[in-house]
Structure 1
Amino acid sequence: MLVTYLEASRDLCEMDSILFGAALAVCRIIGAKVSTAGRATGLSSAIPAWSRRIEERIAKARALIGRMICFRSGNNRSRIVRTVRMAFAGTNVSLSQPDITQKMMAHDDLKQRIAAWGKRIRRYTERLTRINQNRLFQSDQKRLYESLERPMVSGTGPAPNQADNVAFWRGLWSEHVNHSEGPWTELVASQCASITPMDPVIITPDDVAEVVRRAPNWKSPGLDGLHHYSLKGLAVCHTVLARQFQEALNQKSLPSLFTTGITYLVPKDQCTRP
């Protein structure tokens, strides 16, 4: 079905709409969850479920240790006694036994369990950090070294005003500026006159397939919301994409969809003012 629609598409904008519709149809057919809220503004939690369960165990064990210490020190409040009694449920230990204090000392293995659980989480975190750093070293060494030298900064000041941000960026991007060309441009043009022009660029379906293959699957999409993963799966579009990109290159014109982006403000220090 997709081939018929692709061949009838006139430009890259129509092609983008067709591919987005195809990706959305696939998601609905397989029952995949589709988010319509757009890109998240904060960092998503990547803590696995088993790690959260261990952290809950640690929190409960620490609370139990605290109440046991209170009970041994003579605190006989009903809430403390009830918690300690529940901790010894299923054992032969009774709170009325004279040596209950010594037996409670024997249950200090909770501290050892907490230490073991904490080491398990640390091992996972360190292993995940090594894996991410190795992957980043393969893809972007500069970014890796920057992350090692400069940790992530979270702005602590008040959130910037939207009107101030719009005015600041409009002053940089929206105001037309007339640049005066200096005499050096004529000198450069005369020096480049003897350079042999490069051969015309021919975009082939293999070029499109190679670029799509090397692109990250789930990198944040543009305004169209189309991920690279969909372009990899819809391989039938590569031939038409190569033809339409070639036409755009020959006409020296790209649709506004390819020249419009979204700017996300990331603080570089504690100051959050524009």
Structure 2
Amino acid sequence: MFYPKAAEDLHLPAYHAPQGGFMPGDEKRKLEKTITALQNRWGSQIVQRGRPPTAVTAISTTFPELDAALGSGGIPRGRLTEIGGVPTSGMATLVLKVIAAAQGEGGTAVYLDIERTFDADYAARCDVQLQQLIVVRPYTVRQGIHMLADFLAPGSPDVLVFDSALERLTEPATAALLTTAVSRLTSPLAHSACALIFLLALPEPPPPSPLAHYAALRLRLHKERWLYRRGDVRGYEAQVEVTRSRLGPAGRRARIAITFNGTVDGDGLSSGERRR
């Protein structure tokens, strides 16, 4: 079960009454008395001074055009990102590339494989270090939701992926559980270096997502065309649409090229590739 972090665990300076100011003397003394009572009852760290928000760091998607479109330089840490699309849209490849980028910086990753569709061979070809990846297969989607709090406890991974079909999350009981869980995870997530990613397989047309309110970033992927070299299929091009962003402009689009050559690359279109 998730319990919010105690204020003492956040390592913030305790509130101390300011010297001077514009508050009338009687009102100021009443406020200070209230603060003192709160500190005596709940601890010195219960009251904090406001401070500017810390800068959001990000994990590169390894697609430069997409990183630029996101505004944050990649998938943000300490935030929830929703990545959706139909199968073969490129969404799974994008997430695997993010995991590989985090691992390349010495980070860790956990993959909650709700649908049991994780392909280890394909992940390896996306440069994911399988020995450094924890794959968890919950028995039910509800069990997977409960596990989120466990993995966002102190010592959380750099990337936490929840891979599920959106339709399973929109069932009333599951949606209620999910929104309650995610709302409680907002604070511990914000105080972590973890990028929480919901990888959602979308039906056509997709129903409203229960995560829409909580996601700092929402991406929608569409496969646009195959890429050919000397008449053979060598990959495909996909479009990524930023449908929501709290860290930059929404509505931006970026094209990414995913090519197959023993490994799965995402370096963009080369002169030897052509579209059909």
Alignment TM-score, normalising by the size of structure 2: 0.18
Question: Quick one: higher RCO (CA 8 Å, sep 6+), 1 or 2?
Answer: 1
Name the structure where helix makes up a greater proportion of residues. 1
- In terms of fraction of residues, the more strand-rich structure is 2
Q: Which has the larger radius of gyration?
A: 1
